[in-house]
Amino acid sequence: MKPELDALATTLQGGEPLCASELHLALEDCRLRVRSNSAELLATLRGYFSHVVAAPARPDIDIIAIERAAPEPGVEFIDWQREPGKTGRKDSYADIPGGRLIRKVRTGMVFLQSAGPRIAAGPCQQYDNQLINFINSQYMTWLQHRGWLICHAAGLVYRGRCLGIAGFSGGGKSTLMLQLLDQKDVAYLTNDRLFIHAGDGPPLARGIPKLPRVNPGTIVHNPRLQPLIPAAQREHLLGLRSGELWKLEQKYDVDIARLYGPGRIVSEAPLGGFLILNWRRDSNAATAITPVDLATRPDLLAAVMKSPGPFYQHPDGTFQQDFAAFDHQAWLDVLQGVAVHEVTGRTDFNALAGRSLEDLLA
């Protein structure tokens, strides 16, 4: 380990002893271990990842999560440029020999990313979602090193085949996906990060163990999700104008097993189709679904492709840069032969929920 990397790892851990207990996760053919100085934090993570918790085994990925005050590692951080449509400061980073530090601007959580130590440090219990994202980012890197491409899309599985649902920011892909889950033949694959890979037959789709996180606008109109908020709060939200309701940013985790029943989560399936939501809430046109060729629609392909983000370390040890260009052809090659449909007109979830999923899958 490089001296500076070793020193930062020691600084972030802050001399905290690790618990004897460990958390092991089985993510298809990847094994991941999480250790911590906090038994309470490990219990929280065990509950969240309950559907992929596994018996101890030699890990492919090792993560340490240190519950402590937000650290001050004494380096100069640079703001990570956000994607088009996103505003405000979210991540900042500092590259060091052999690694990268990422700091969450709002919470002060700090993460050490490297091919060696992978450490999360700060008020992890309070901001457990950021720790969960860090854990998932390690699996995401593992997948990309094996040729999987990341898509900014939700994914559901209908009768053994995956339908990816992409859209522009605020397009409602999570809302639609959760509404479609009311059908008994539909299972949950992923909410916001869908991975695709060319297979011997049809391409494959794989999800990450991340529960959907939704805003109040999604919850209040879906009876299945209404237990997530008190009845009085729901009545207040229903009294808001539609535009005000859908702008509210207050995330709630959707426990798929609790709300939809056991056995409703799968991790991988053949990719049968892609639905791209290009509709508008202020449109007066009827909702329409049209087959498209992504090779001739770079605007729609842009809604599918997703940057690996600041945590991604390439196999050669270098890190992803926020200005890096996409290799459009890589996504087009995997998606060749996959049925892709564009949704236009006014936003109407009921119209899509009533559409036969079989018609959208190749």
* 338 vs 360: CA distance, rounded Å: 10
Contact 253, 269 (CB under 8 A): no
Radius of gyration of the chain from Cα atoms?
21
- Single residue among 144, 162, 183 that ends a domain in this structure: 144
Cβ neighbourhood burial of 262 (10 Å; 0-12, 13-18, 19+)? exposed
Q: Into how many domains does the chain fold?
A: 2
pLDDT of residue 331: 98
pLDDT of residue 87: 62
Nearest residue to 32 (alpha-carbon basis) of 41, 23, 40: 23
Contact 130, 19 (CB under 8 A): no
Q: Residues in the chain, how many?
A: 362
310 in any annotated domain: yes
242 in any annotated domain: no
90 in any annotated domain: yes
* 284 vs 20: CA distance, rounded Å: 60
337 in any annotated domain: yes
322 in any annotated domain: yes
Domain with 345 in it: what CATH number? 3.40.50
Helix, strand, or coil here: 138? Answer: helix
Helix, strand, or coil here: 309? Answer: coil
- Single residue among 129, 144, 159 that ends a domain in this structure: 144
Contact 4, 102 (CB under 8 A): no
Same domain, 184 and 266: yes
Same domain, 98 and 188: no
* 222 vs 196: CA distance, rounded Å: 29
The one-digit pLDDT tens for each residue of the chain (362 residues) are 566 899 999 999 999 999 999 999 999 999 999 999 999 999 999 999 999 999 999 999 999 999 999 999 999 999 998 776 566 678 999 999 999 999 999 999 999 999 999 999 999 999 999 999 999 999 999 999 999 999 999 999 999 999 999 998 778 899 999 999 999 899 999 999 999 999 788 899 999 999 999 988 889 889 999 999 998 888 888 888 877 887 787 889 999 999 999 999 999 999 999 999 999 988 999 999 999 999 999 999 999 999 999 999 999 999 999 989 999 999 999 999 999 999 999 999 988 888 889 888 86
* 326 vs 279: CA distance, rounded Å: 24
Same domain, 174 and 106: no
Same domain, 133 and 153: no
328 in any annotated domain: yes
- The two tokens of residue 165 are 């649902």
Q: Residue 18's Cα: distance from chain center in Å?
A: 28
- The two tokens of residue 247 are 């702008």
Look up the domain containing 161 and give its range: 149-212+254-360
With both helix axes pointing from N to C terminus, report the angle between 128-144 and 39-48 in degrees, rounded to the nearest 10: 60
* 26 vs 59: CA distance, rounded Å: 9
* 255 vs 176: CA distance, rounded Å: 16
* 73 vs 110: CA distance, rounded Å: 9
Strands 91-96 and 23-27: unpaired
Nearest residue to 252 (alpha-carbon basis) of 207, 208, 209, 219: 219
pLDDT of residue 88: 63
Same domain, 164 and 66: no
Same domain, 91 and 123: yes
- Single residue among 118, 144, 170 that ends a domain in this structure: 144
Same domain, 90 and 135: yes
Contact 32, 25 (CB under 8 A): yes
- Point out which residues pair with 305 in neighbouring strands: 151
Give residue 269's region: left, alpha or beta (phi > 0; psi -120 to 50): beta
Helix, strand, or coil here: 217? Answer: helix
Same domain, 111 and 176: no
- Half-sphere exposure (CA, 13 Å, Cβ side) for 308? 24
Same domain, 158 and 137: no
Same domain, 164 and 290: yes
pLDDT of residue 333: 96
Same domain, 259 and 165: yes
Give residue 337's region: left, alpha or beta (phi > 0; psi -120 to 50): left
Model-level pTM greater than 0.75? yes
35 in any annotated domain: yes
C-alpha pair distances (Å), 122 with each of 51, 109, 195: 26, 5, 29
Tell me how crowded residue 253 is: count the other CB atoms within 10 A of its CB. Answer: 15
* 76 vs 56: CA distance, rounded Å: 38
55 in any annotated domain: yes
Contact 94, 101 (CB under 8 A): yes
Same domain, 81 and 165: no
